[in-house]
Amino acid sequence: MTTPTATTAVPDAVIDALQGARRVLVLSGAGMSAESGVPTFRDAQTGLWEAFDPTQLATLEAFQMDPPFVWAWYAWRMQLVGAVDPNAGHVALAALAGLREVTISTQNVDDLHERAGSSVAAHLHGSLFEPRCSECDTPYDGEVELPQEPVERLDPPTCPQCEGDVRPGVVWFGETLPEQAVEVTEAAVEALEPGDVVLVIGTSGLVYPAAGYPAMARAEGATVIEINPHESEISDMCHHVVRGPAAEVLAAIVG
């Protein structure tokens, strides 16, 4: 790894920890995609959604109450993610996988890690790009109309099997996380040994159970490093904190 050239000071201890690590577990949140132009969850929602609290929109109840209203938000987000590119941070993590054993478990519902060349072990909160029927759970692979601008309402597609409303393939608040994603993440945490590194990137650490993994990793003896320009709920339990933007810091660290 090169000596960092970022404007953000990367502590030598972080460089040394990564140099010495055999395994790296990446726990990424919305801040990982911020420099690609994807609004984070708690930023002021762009345009139309400024008036709404995402945690009120990202629920099954909100969808059942008004499917076109909630579907419109997700269709806009699908369009937005499709129109942006992975940033230098996504690219750096893909390159890191050529140097170390890297496992990525993300809270993000975008596909930017994959489009940068990473394989993602777990999407803890599902994916924008795996819509399924809200009635019979059948994956929906038909046409999805993507609005070029945010729209207030957009009818969700209809399930070809049962005529039910198609829903986004994300995990809403109050819904349990995909079992496989939890199992894979917990196994990766339990496999950590002293000397391994956990990079907690761009998450406010507010949403559980995902927010609990950094503490579990620390208990396994791994070195926990946060990359986030701001303080988060997990900053206090990290061994090192790099207060800078993910793309810039990761590009500097991985080189």
What residues are labeled active site? 125
**Does the annotation flag 203 for ligand binding?**
yes
Binding of ligand BV8 by 178 (CB under 6 A): no
List the single partner that 173 binds among ligand BV8, Zn ion, none, CB under 5 to 8 Å by kind: ligand BV8
Give, as one character, the DSSP assignment of residue 160: T
Q: Is 209 in the site for ligand BV8 (CB under 6 A)?
A: yes
The site map against Zn ion for 126-145 (x = CB under 5 A) is -------x-xx-x-------
* Shortest distance, position 167 Cβ to Zn ion, whole Å: 10
d(CA 156, CA 165): 6
User: Taking the CA of residue 171 as centre, how many other CA atoms within 13 Å lie in the half-sphere pointing to its CB?
Assistant: 21
Buried b (16+ CB within 10 A) or exposed e, 35-69: bbebbbbeeebeeebeeeebeebbbeebbeeebeb
Identified binder of Zn ion from the candidate list 126, 164, 202, 205, rule CB under 5 A: 164
For tokens 């030598």, the residue is 12
Binding flag, residue 27, Zn ion (CB under 5 A): no
- H or E element at residue 26: strand 23-28
Q: Give the number of residues in contact with ligand BV8, rule: CB under 6 A.
A: 36
Q: Which of 4, 29, 156, 164 binds ligand BV8 (CB under 6 A)?
A: 29
Helix (H) or strand (E) holding 12: helix 12-20
Binding flag, residue 238, ligand BV8 (CB under 6 A):
no
**Contact positions vs Zn ion (CB under 5 A):** 133, 135-136, 138, 159, 161-162, 164
